[in-house]
Chain A
Amino acid sequence: MPTDTKRVRGPEVSQSPTLFLCKHAAVLPSHGPRADGRQRDQVDVRPVFVRCGLVSQAKGSAYIEAGNTKLMCCVYGPREMERKDETDMKCGKLTTDMRFAPFSCLERGSWIQGSQDKDLSLMLHESLQPAVCLHKYPRSQIEVNVMVLENSGSVLAHAVTCASLALADAGIEILNQISGLQSDGEMTEETLTAGVRTCIEGCYKLYPVIQQALTKAVRRAAPPPSES
């Protein structure tokens, strides 16, 4: 294994103390309400908290907290393309980067970006790409950076919501606000369609919250002209 020379290094191997705790594997209840008391088969989204424009250095930023999942997204750009050879004259370029803070999961993650992060970055890219009016920003790039501060499920979904919020906060033209919800597990075709339907319904529930946060941010940025 190549050693990481760019960080302060610790011991070669270490184990989390939780491994040594004698606990029986938690079995998910298959009937009745879910472990945290929410209803099954229904649109029962965790309470969501969103804020816009927290990071002073970024063009646009957003923070989302759903249950214990906390993430932060910053948008930089549109700015000059970094790699001149890839410059597209007609269309801008959207780059996404999604990372987990090392302390965000139960098991300590390494600093080096794993394949999971890259997969998630790609999925985030795919969900944002259609919504952003890239043709309005020729020869420039827009960067979307997502940092997961605490992971307790549905990270990707909330990342999508958070990213679209940050894009809107940055004043980048997007076709539509998008929000995401996630459901996991092996699915047959029927449950899949049902799952998608529930997710869409859940998303509708999220919209008002997002809109509220956005209007709040805009109000703060441009206070209504006072009579003087």
Chain B
Amino acid sequence: MMEVCGSTNVSLREFGCEQTLLSRPDGSASFVQGDTSVIAAVYGPAEVKVSKEIYDRATLEVLIQPKVGLPSVRERSQEQCVRETCEASLLLTLHPRSSLTLVLQLIHDDGSRLACFLNAACMALMDAGLPMSCLFCGVTCAINADSEIITDPTAAQEKESRALMTFAIDSKEQRVMMSYTKGSFSVHELQQCIAVSQKASENIFQFYRDSVRRRYSKNL
């Protein structure tokens, strides 16, 4: 019933992922989407500062480091998006009065960076072995001037687009956990983009499964 703008297959760029690539953090992962690349590291559960202590659950802190310079307001707002998504999927109540820190370092930005942050974060949390209620993945859709929906756009495609949307989709029921949009669009277009993202999320979750399987087949 949902016509996906001409093409039924969702095109995503080449994905790549490596887990446990850093030795110091409790969990780490790098995630590559085309030319966009992010490294994520998770520390914790560890001791928490008294001022940040929450008595019935763990305190999650997300830090996003840009490629150059200091993090600015834009990074702060993306941190908020990633943090609240992670908070919803992690079972934080299992670690009361402790701290979790997630550091996301942008290596190269070629579009869909928020989606890449989310994917790297999920892989790193998995690697750290933290209990989660579901997995999540990030998908970015761009609507270009001809009203075509492009999934996983590059920086150039993002620049040309009329609207840009990033969703976080959960693995259980494939519902929208987070949405971040830019530009103006109609309700119908929003619904279409969500449908496309849900379709794309299947591919990403399959990729998650494959890369984790590959990793453990080596180790065991």
Contacts and interface: CB of A to CB of B under 8 A. Distances in A.
A/B: CB atoms within 8 Å of each other = yes
Interface of A: 3, 5-9
Interface stretch (B22-30, B70-78, B87-95): B70-78
A83 to B, nearest CB: 10
A6 B70 CA distance: 10
A6 B79 CA distance: 13
Contacts of B76: 6
B76 to A, nearest CB: 8
Interface in B48-102: 70-73, 76
B71 to A, nearest CB: 7
A12 to B, nearest CB: 15
Given A6-B72, A9-B72, 9 more contacts: A3-B70, A5-B70, A5-B71, A5-B72, A5-B73, A6-B73, A6-B76, A7-B73, A8-B73
A148 to B, nearest CB: 25
Nearest to A84: B50
B104 to A, nearest CB: 17
B37 to A, nearest CB: 23
A9 B71 CA distance: 13
Bin chain B's interface residue count: under 10
Nearest to A7: B73
11 contacts: A3-B70, A5-B70, A5-B71, A5-B72, A5-B73, A6-B72, A6-B73, A6-B76, A7-B73, A8-B73, A9-B72
Contacts of A6: 72-73, 76
A10 to B, nearest CB: 12
3 cross-chain pairs, A with B, having the tightest CB-CB distances, nearest first? A5-B70, A5-B72, A8-B73
Contacts of A7: 73
Contacts of B71: 5
A105 B144 CA distance: 44
A86 to B, nearest CB: 15
Contacts of A5: 70-73
Contacts of B73: 5-8
Contacts of B72: 5-6, 9
Nearest to A3: B70
A206 B72 CA distance: 47
Nearest to A8: B73
A7 B73 CA distance: 6
Contacts of B70: 3, 5
B218 to A, nearest CB: 42
A7 B70 CA distance: 12
Nearest to B71: A5
A166 to B, nearest CB: 26
B171 to A, nearest CB: 35
A6 B72 CA distance: 6
A3 B76 CA distance: 16
Nearest to B50: A84
Interface in B109-129: none
A143 to B, nearest CB: 16
A215 B70 CA distance: 52
Contacts of A9: 72
Nearest to B73: A8
A7 B76 CA distance: 10
A8 B75 CA distance: 11
